Chains A and B, each alone.
Chain A
Amino acid sequence: GQNIDQPTEMTATEGAIVQINCTYQTSGFNGLFWYQQHAGEAPTFLSYNVLDGLEEKGRFSSFLSRSKGYSYLLLKELQMKDSASYLCAVMDSNYQLIWGAGTKLIIKP
């Protein structure tokens, strides 16, 4: 079966750095996405990785290792507004998105 694993909840301090991990097992691979979702709102796109390596976009970076079925989202200089759920999703061979359950990130002052 297809499976996406990510931690349920993480806590970090304002101004610090946090890494959210995601491991996956899917039927084929056509890219991995990270989305941010605030409570009661729809997800918003953060990043996309299809090749191994690190993609940096401002305070957010995303890393992919296809051989290990592993990705992480790195958030730097954390702000209170970064408190949200972070969803890892993999596009399988049928170009369908397989979603993780999301990681709730709590930022403390």
Chain B
Amino acid sequence: GAVVSQHPSRVICKSGTSVKIECRSLDFQATTMFWYRQFPKQSLMLMATSNEGSKATYEQGVEKDKFLINHASLTLSTLTVTSAHPEDSSFYICSAPSGTGDINEQFFGPGTRLTVL
């Protein structure tokens, strides 16, 4: 199956700093990527849809100026958490639809555990 990578897998930062998370599709092109956040014992919450070459679409309640998304190429999307605070500590996961066959299957990156002190 298709492979999606994320980097870093784990990051600890001080409050007020910015953190960039990369999401790459390794063996396929992804014009669309999705960014999710998952708090402990909760389901995935879609934050935004990243579109190659255009602005991201943010879900209601997600601050676009705080969570900056850039989809500069067909294989890379980045999420930057600006001025991170402890409440931003979460598991961030990206995914990309494979776009092959009839199944709109999404392939997930391994996730990034963000801890803001």
Contact = CB atoms under 8 A, between A and B. Distances in A.
Contacts of B114: none
B105 A42 contact: no
A31 B43 contact: no
Contacts of A29: none
Contacts of A43: 44, 93, 108
Contact of B111 (A42, A45, A95): A42
A41 B38 CA distance: 11
A47 to B, nearest CB: 10
Nearest to A95: B104
B46 A97 contact: yes
Contact of A48 (B42, B103, B110): B103
Interface in A83-101: 87, 91, 95-97, 99-101
A93 to B, nearest CB: 13
A33 interface: yes
Range class of the B interface residue count: 20 to 34
Interface string B84-117: 0000000101000000001111111111010000
Nearest to A87: B43
B44 to A, nearest CB: 5
A58 interface: no
Interface of B: 1, 34, 42-46, 91, 93, 102-111, 113
Given A45-B1, A50-B102, 20 more contacts: A40-B91, A40-B113, A41-B110, A42-B110, A43-B44, A43-B93, A43-B108, A45-B105, A45-B106, A45-B107, A48-B105, A87-B44, A95-B104, A96-B46, A97-B34, A97-B106, A99-B43, A99-B44, A99-B45, A101-B42
